[in-house]
Copies of this chain bind each other. A is one copy, B any other.
Amino acid sequence: MELWRLLYPLRTYLIVSGTLEKPNVMTADWVIPLSFQPELVGIGIGKKRYTYELIKRGKEFVIAVPDFKLLKDVWIAGTRSGRSVDKRELLSLTFTKSKKVKVPSIEECLANIECRVVNEIETGDHTLFVGEIVDVSFKEKVFGEGKPNVKAADFILHVAGNEFTSDKGERKFA
């Protein structure tokens, strides 16, 4: 057994890197808040990932929060590499200009968290990119009260492989 699976199911996010002209997006479960003040978050990215290369170079990333409606895109973003294919051709996602970073946001997502890398920590076969949140955008009906409205959204949790769940119950993809 892979022992880290005991922490699952975990929330699933989309990590955007690159630029508006040439964006890349991958699915990631290894995402964590790290500090209240300054407002820091961390993302654990495998060192062989194309996203790893792009963040190493650009020093910015966006964490986009998908709704269950985007599960097909989440699946594609998590199983195809942007090194060999332009994922925009496979995805039904709209990349839009972010407020403060060159990395684009995703229009269909519930929230987009714009981050600048302030630290890179080697943790075994992954790197934890620590980002300071420099700006955000979000759907008013989901986060307008300063906390998630679970009635207004269907947050995705990854169970294993193609199994996902949410607080609306279990569903499979593919």
A34 interface contact, C-beta 8 A? yes
A36 interface contact, C-beta 8 A? yes
Give the bracket for the number of chain A residues in contact with chain B. Answer: 35 or more
Chain B residues near A3 (CB, 8 Å)? 39, 113, 133, 136
A126 interface contact, C-beta 8 A? yes
Tell me, in angstroms, the Cα distance from A130 to B159 when the chains sit together.
23
Name which of A5-13, A19-27, A91-99 contacts chain B: A5-13
Tell me, in angstroms, the Cα distance from A111 to B8 when the chains sit together.
11
Tell me, in angstroms, the Cα distance from A78 to B136 when the chains sit together.
28
Chain B residues near A90 (CB, 8 Å)? none
Interchain nearest-CB distance for A92 vs B (Å) = 22
